Amino acid sequence: MVFLKYDIEEKDIRMLKEVYQSVGWHKHNELIIEKVFNASTHVVVALVDGKIVGFVRALSDGVFNAAIYDVVVHKKFQGQGIARMLLEDMMKQLENVSCIQLIATTGNVPFYEKMGFKKLKTGMGIYKNQQLAQEYLE
């Protein structure tokens, strides 16, 4: 059974790192993970048997805009509906925000389209990392 929680404790950082690494995100060290989660206004964490298996985080002003980041599920737990559960919970938390944006990782656009997201006509970005710029920018 999957349980959800809405905060991050110091002891969770190592498990978050394991989830990131399971999907190939190796640049997320424990200091970075702590920093990005502490800066996030909304967090949903999925646990199975007390172990973190997935998460999503967002930044929002609570009225007009929100940006969802890091919808990540451990490789061993993918395909079980956990990402859908996390994203649905996050969307409920953000239901009063008029604009919710999300950057999809390569290959995951169909999932987010099923969740109701649509491509932006005017979305723009700057990636300082050249490899990411090549992957995500037109």
Look at residues 11, 102, 95 and name the one whose alpha carbon lies nearest to residue 45.
11
Supply the pTM of this predicted model. 0.93
Across the range 23-46, mean pLDDT stands at: 96
Q: Each residue of 70-118: pLDDT tens digit? A: 999 999 999 999 999 999 999 999 999 999 999 888 899 999 999 999 9
Q: Which residues are catalytic?
A: 112
